[in-house]
Structure 1
Amino acid sequence: MDDFTFYEFFAGGGMARAGLGPRWRCLFANDLSAKKAAAYRANWGDDHLHVGDVHEIGPAMLPGLADLAWGSFPCQDLSLAGAGAGLSGKRSSAFWGFWNAILALKAEGRAPRTLVLENVCGALTSRGGRDFAAIGEALSDAGYRFGAMVIDAALFVPQSRPRLFIVAVAEGVGISPGLAGEGPLAPWHTKALVAAHAGMSDAARENWIWWRAEPPRANVATLADIVEDAPQGVRWHTARETEAVLALMAPLHRARIAAAGAAGATCVGAVYKRMRLDATGAKVQRAEARFDGVAGCLRTPAGGSSRQTLILVDGASVRTRLMSPREAARLMGLDDGYRLPANYNDAYRLAGDGVAAPVVRFLADALLEPLLGAARPLVRRAG
């Protein structure tokens, strides 16, 4: 079968690899976390896996000439929930380690033909847009043309998960007219993205591409479709525990529970705990329910409030429990053959820190493979 080659930086459990699929051959993968590396090994082996700091990766560790370098770099310092340190922060500064490796490859004439950078949408506004501008400046200075898209995983799986994807192409990679437009295109180019584009330097904007892609027409599963009948690693709450969850709800969300009970059928919803301001301006924890068939965005379980709760309403009966690790994996588009860590927090963190595999496949179909297919003849895989 024909194949493309790639490096997977910040690989986690290899969800970009899962999304790219069998046409893509991994040359190198890395992650700093030993626990995530263990999950990667369990699913993909460790022939090409390096566990360590991205700042220590040099060109000698990166074999061949890759068609793609994928980098889902840490989001904590760019997230709206973070401290706002941006690309100079302890975690998100890992982008510069990735970028130094790309520049070293370029110096050897081995710059990857395409790059994909994935992060939270907060990267568009972090430090008043200066971080996004810095990334654009770096790409432009290195001779890459680039553009960005905001893609919500809810187009493919029942999880609300909008993420920023920056897609860059090296010199010599042709772009057919059908892949680029004259200006912003919904739903990919949001107001925040357009504003971030306007804040870049003139030189960076000269290398900007308004990527085009047809929205998917997939029949997306609902939250009820991914719920396990016999979940592993979680239990149903006691009546007292369920009442404690309901007690955190504002009247609007209690009304949603009542409406679901009056619907005459079992309703499956998701509950997420958030900090809200009350009438006095004080911060209080609230539980918010949704019954639109979509879960909220998975997050990493730093505490109980980061984990989503499932709620089943059947008439007057209300049951709650934590979302299981397998359900979280399904929300990321991973099939049930994907091997998860045995520990609940490790498995949930692996999912919450990852990239939704079907979004990766969409980008490969819509942009990466057409770009690379035009750039060179494909290489036949030996054997």
Structure 2
Amino acid sequence: MSIIRVADLFAGIGGIRLGMCQALGRNARTVYASEWNKYSVQTYQANWHDGFDIDGDITKVSADSVPDIDMLLAGFPCQPFSIAGVSKKNSLGRPTGFQDKTQGTLFFDVARIIKAKQPQAFLLENVKNLLSHDHGRTFATIYSVLTEDLGYHLKYKVIDAAGFVPQHRERTYIVGFKEANDFSFDTVKPIKHGNVGSILLPVEEISDKYVLSDKLWTYLQNYAAKHKAAGNGFGYGLVNEKTDRARTLSARYYKDGSEILIDRGENKNPRRLTPRECARLMGYPDDFIIPVSDTQAYRQFGNSVAVPVIKAIGKAMKPYLANSHKDTSDVSIIQ
């Protein structure tokens, strides 16, 4: 069976991997993963059974220890770059490379592994503001490194997951290919999906612990009223089963759940989403195992990607991926 060997960097709980596996099917085989958060690793290992250890801090990983790969996936954190240092070297006529431009940032580790392993393609994910971060200088550096220094052909786009799940979630996606081709984000089309009601569990399955206390509900209402009076748009987001799209689920959801509260009817306090409902909101299947506490689960799904978006991007990439490696072993993936 021809396979695409995949490296999963900043893997989290495996959301980017899951979407790509759904797109490529049994052609995708993850051969390497790196994630530093121990709770995310716990969830990752509960769902993926690869036969290799997950590396921790990627900054301490030698590129030599990463197996040969055909595709690199990474949802790397957004950090500013030291433009001044590069400008100084330019003024002195000294050559600069990606190491000079990106050293000290986590993108540097993505770049050095791409340089060392030369995958035929990669998919990077980041926040919407990556494009405007530090007045555009951050993305300009990333684009320069990937195209000029590493020689890849790049396409990028901000996509709102609302076309794939009932949640507004704008993220920047960057696709790179070693060889020029006709890949286009124009082929990444929204899919038909349900409203907020489609991800909710039956009422009888919801524990009372997810219902907001009188104290917290009063605080959120007063907080919202205060900011409304000041002309600000801050406040809780109240939805019900008929709501088309919820606000963006964030990693801070465990604190008070204020961005997405489920209306339980008149004279009743609203409730948080359960972790399983958060998983559904992000496009994870119901057989995805959640082995951690509610607090950690909220953080993990709030930091995750919307899986169906990755699947759609992966399907758009698939025609341009060469089957460069033969392997007859079984491939264990979640569909």
Which TM-score applies when normalising by structure 1?
A: 0.71
Unmatched runs of 5 consecutive residues or more in structure 2: 83-103, 331-335
Q: Distance in 1 between matches of 2:292 and 2:107?
A: 30
1:304, distance to aligned residue in structure 2 (A)? 2.2
Task: Return the offset for 1:137.
Answer: 0.7
Change (3 A) 1:377 1:97: closer
Alignment partner for residue 117 of structure 1, among 121, 124, 132? 124
Once the 2 structures are TM-superposed, how far is the Cα of residue 9 of structure 1 from its aligned partner? 0.1
Show the 5 A alignment for 1:247-266: 247-250=222-225
The verdict on how the C-alpha distance between 1:364 and 1:309 changes in structure 2, with shifts beyond 3 A counting, is closer
In the other structure, the counterpart of 1:343 is 293
Match of 2:55 in 1: 51
Q: Give the drift of 1:174.
A: 4.7
> Following TM superposition, by how much is the alpha carbon of 1:319 offset from its aligned partner in structure 2, in angstroms?
3.5
Change (3 A) 1:27 1:377: closer
Segment of structure 1 superposing worse, 16-25 or 132-141: 16-25
Give the SS at the match of 2:269.
strand
Q: What is the distance in 1 between the residues matched to 2:138 and 2:267? A: 49
Q: Report Cα offsets for 1:102-155 as digits up to 9, x if no partner.
A: 22x1xxxx4011011100011111111000000011011211110101111111
Counterpart residue type for residue 175 of structure 1 = N
Kept in 1: contact 2:71–2:119 (CA 8 A):
yes
Sequence identity percentage: 28
Tell me the distance in 2 between the aligned counterparts of 1:98 and 1:371: 22
Larger % of strand: which? 1
2:295 partner SS: helix
Alignment of 1:125-140 (within 5 A): 125-140=132-147
Contact 1:26 1:48 in 2 (8 A): no
C-alpha spacing 1:54/1:307, structure 2 compared with 1 (3 Å): farther
* 1:116-265 map, 5 Å: 116-140=123-147, 141-170=149-178, 173-176=179-182, 179-180=183-184, 211-216=185-190, 218-229=191-202, 230-231=205-206, 234-238=209-213, 241-250=216-225
Q: Specify the alignment match of 2:252 in structure 1.
A: 301
Return the match for 1:325 from 275, 291, 297.
275
Deviation at 1:13, TM superposition (A): 0.7
Deviations 1:209-237, CA, capped at 9 Å, x for gaps = xx431523x22121111112213584323
Structure 1, unmatched stretches of 5+, are 78-85, 181-210, 251-274
Q: Is the 8 A contact 1:300 1:306 kept in 2?
A: no
Kindly provide the amino acid, as one letter, of the partner of residue 60 in structure 1: D
Q: Is the 8 A contact 1:11 1:30 kept in 2?
A: yes
* Residue of structure 1 equivalent to 2:92: none
1:100 maps to which residue?
Answer: 112
Label 1:214 to 1:117 Cα distance change in 2 as closer, same or farther (>3 A). closer
TM-score by length of structure 2 reads 0.80
- Structure 1 residue 302: Cα displacement: 7.7
> Could you say which structure has the higher helix fraction?
2
1:243 positional shift: 4.2
CA distance in 1, matches of 2:53, 2:249: 26
Once residues 159 and 234 of structure 2 are traced to their aligned partners in structure 1, the CA distance between those partners, rounded to angstroms, is: 29
Distance in 2 of aligned mates of 1:8 and 1:33 = 14
Q: Alignment partner of 1:151: what SS? A: strand
